[in-house]
Homo-oligomer: A and B are copies of this chain.
Amino acid sequence: MLEQALTHRSIGNNNNERLEYLGDAILGFVIADIIYQQFPTASEGELTRLRATLVKGEKLAEISREIQLSNQIKLGTGELKSGGWRRDSILANTLEALIGAVYLDSGIERCREFILNLYKTHLDNVNPADIKKDAKTQLQEYLQSRTQSVPEYKVISETGSSHEPEFTVSCKIDLFDEAVIATGKSKRKAEQAVAKQVIIMLESRDE
Contacts and interface: CB of A to CB of B under 8 A. Distances in A.
Interface of A: 17-18, 20-22, 24-26, 28-29, 31-33, 36, 42-44, 47-48, 51, 108, 150-155, 158, 161-162, 187
B21 A44 contact: yes
A25 B28 contact: yes
| Interface secondary structure of A, over-half rule | helix
A22 B17 contact: no
Contacts of A36: 18, 21-22
Contact of A29 (B20, B29, B43): B29
Given A21-B48, A25-B51, 8 more contacts: A17-B43, A18-B36, A25-B28, A25-B32, A26-B29, A108-B108, A150-B162, A152-B161
A70 B32 CA distance: 27
